[in-house]
């Protein structure tokens, strides 16, 4: 396998864009990435396009990738459509990485795009539920509930076991809302207090509105090339040291196996030759804010139950030793599900290059981790787990 770098990234702002269809959102991200690298459509030799809900919500069930790429002037190349729930964009990134790493292409594009505002929230919620196995979504299971009570995370049980309070659950949302307030691309830019979060309306107890990622439109893209061609492009290349993808396992009651988020992170650390202590910045999948506390453990950033302390001591804040979700994360930057993985990558590339503006981490990061997951199966884990490591 050849070494692969990211030559350029681009993103559309995340938010509510009534007039913009998928291809308009994607256009901004694609030409953002091309412009960032100083590339043209003719440089792109293969493309992977991630999207999850476009079939159900826009009616464009097939060929979404070809449609958005043609709209942006990219034609006549291998195009692969990727659907992998909330991890669609990272799965697209891995496809583009494989194209370049294998030598099949020298330059490949990964795109993630999602259009969730369709004027009917109940329809969007139902479409999101369809990222679960049918036997679950047919029964009215929702992702919020999956965080509150599902065996894989079971926030209610963690509250009993660790003594976490509602204020503890709110801490990631408070931290990330401050980061998001500094991000011009973020959907929600109001800094929140613990009281704001705890007192917002209950969605699924104990999770309140501000602990939950909202519906968003958005798009992001990354242009990848082989390390030996990086000098063709104008920006400092960012090394894609590991991009690990795994499906979840069928978890049995009293299952002794590590959570799959932990398994993919360990695999990514091993491939990149780094450990959690080497990380300078992390973007992680806080679809529900308290999940960030659990993911700290699973990524090796702290021991059991220590998540709230990492925030109390400022370790994961923007000024801390290992800032987490500098973009604002899924709750503040937004979670347009099929774009989220590449929104994380775009943020980390900007941070590694020192281009993140007012939210730039002062001590310039060198090693970054993106953690993204999605879907829910009868196996009682998420359907998809990913971990990606970037380095400069």
Partner 1 sequence: MNLPEGMTLLHAGSVHLAADDSEGPSLVGSRCGGCGLVVFPAMPVCPRCTANGRMGEARIGRTARLYSHAIAHVAPQGFVAPYYQAFVELPEGPRVFTLIGRDVPVAPGQLVDGAEMRLVVEPLADTPEKRRLFTYKYVPVDRQRLVERDRAASGGVATHA
CB 382 within 8 A of CB 243: no
Nearest to 107 by CA among 1, 30, 6: 6
Residue from the set 84, 176, 371, 380 that interacts with partner 1 by CB under 8 A: 380
Q: Least Å distance between CB 311 and partner 1?
A: 24
CB of 159 to partner 1, least distance (A): 11
Q: How far, rounded to the nearest angstrom, does the alpha carbon of residue 183 sit from its chain's CA centroid? A: 16
Q: Is the omega angle on the peptide bond into residue 206 within 30 degrees of 0, that is, cis?
A: yes
In angstroms, what is the minimal distance from the CB of 26 to partner 1? Answer: 27
According to the binding rule CB under 8 A, does residue 181 interact with partner 1?
no
Nearer to partner 1, 145 or 165 (CB): 145
Is residue 136 involved in binding partner 1 (CB under 8 A)? yes
Confirm or reject binding of residue 55 to partner 1 (CB under 8 A).
no
CB nearer partner 1, residue 160 or residue 358: 160
Partners of 324 in the β-ladder:
282
Decide: 344 and 287 in contact? Cβ < 8 Å. Answer: no
CB atoms within 10 A of CB 43: 20
Range in contact with partner 1 (rule: CB under 8 A) among 17-25, 154-162, 215-223, 283-291: 154-162
DSSP SS3 for 142: coil
Query: Which of 201, 256, 358, 362 contacts partner 1 by CB under 8 A?
Result: 201
The span from the CA of 392 to the CA of 337, in Å, is 27
Q: Cα(211)–Cα(233) distance, rounded to whole angstroms?
A: 40
Among 81, 144, 183, 371, binds partner 1 (CB under 8 A): 144
Relative to beta strand 382-391, strand 367-376 is: antiparallel
**Which of 203, 236, 262, 320 touches partner 1 (CB under 8 A)?**
203
Q: What's the gap between Cα 268 and its chain centre?
A: 16
Tokens encoding 232: 């063709």
Shortest gap between Cβ of 145 and partner 1 (angstroms)?
4
243 part of the active site: no
Q: Which of residues 245-264 bind partner 1 (CB under 8 A)?
A: 250, 252-253
Q: Which residues bind partner 1 (CB under 8 A)?
A: 122-123, 125-126, 129, 135-142, 144-145, 148-151, 154, 156-157, 201-206, 250, 252-253, 378-380
Active site residues: 86, 335
């Amino acid at each position: 396998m050849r070494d692969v770098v990211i030559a350029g990234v681009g993103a559309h702002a995340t938010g509510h864009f009534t007039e913009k269809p998928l291809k308009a959102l994607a256009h901004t991200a694609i030409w953002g990435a091309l412009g960032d690298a100083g590339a043209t459509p003719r440089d792109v030799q293969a493309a992977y396009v991630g999207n999850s809900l476009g079939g159900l919500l826009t009616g464009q069930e097939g060929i979404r990738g070809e449609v958005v790429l043609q709209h942006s002037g990219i034609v006549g190349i291998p195009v692969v459509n990727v659907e992998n729930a909330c991890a669609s964009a990272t799965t697209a990134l891995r496809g583009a990485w494989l194209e370049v790493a294998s030598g099949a292409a020298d330059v490949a594009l990964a795109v993630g795009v999602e259009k969730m505002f369709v004027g009917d929230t109940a329809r969007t919620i139902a479409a999101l539920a369809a990222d679960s196995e049918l036997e679950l979504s047919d029964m009215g299971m929702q992702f919020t509930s999956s965080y509150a009570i599902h065996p894989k995370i079971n926030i209610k049980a963690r509250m009993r076991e660790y003594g976490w309070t509602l204020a503890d659950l709110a801490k990631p949302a408070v931290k990330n809302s401050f980061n998001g307030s500094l991000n011009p691309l973020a959907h929600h830019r109001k800094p929140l207090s613990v009281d704001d979060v705890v007192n917002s309306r209950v969605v699924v107890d104990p999770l309140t509105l501000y602990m939950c990622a909202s519906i968003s439109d958005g798009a992001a893209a990354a242009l990848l090339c082989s390390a030996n061609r990086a000098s063709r492009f104008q920006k400092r290349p960012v090394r894609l040291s590991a991009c690990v993808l795994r499906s979840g396992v069928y978890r049995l009651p009293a299952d002794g196996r590590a959570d799959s988020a932990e398994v993919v992170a360990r695999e990514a650390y091993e491939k990149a030759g780094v450990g959690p202590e080497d990380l300078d910045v992390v973007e992680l999948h806080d679809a529900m804010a308290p999940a960030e506390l659990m993911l700290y453990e699973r990524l090796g950033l702290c021991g059991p139950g220590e998540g709230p302390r990492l925030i109390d001591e400022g370790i994961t804040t923007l000024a801390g030793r290992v800032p987490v979700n500098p973009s604002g994360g899924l709750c503040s930057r937004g979670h347009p599900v099929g774009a989220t993985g590449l929104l994380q990558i775009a943020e980390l590339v900007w941070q590694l290059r020192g281009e993140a503006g007012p939210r730039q981490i002062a001590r310039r990061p060198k090693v970054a981790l993106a953690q993204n997951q999605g879907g829910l199966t009868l196996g009682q884990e998420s359907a998809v787990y990913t971990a990606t490591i970037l380095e400069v």
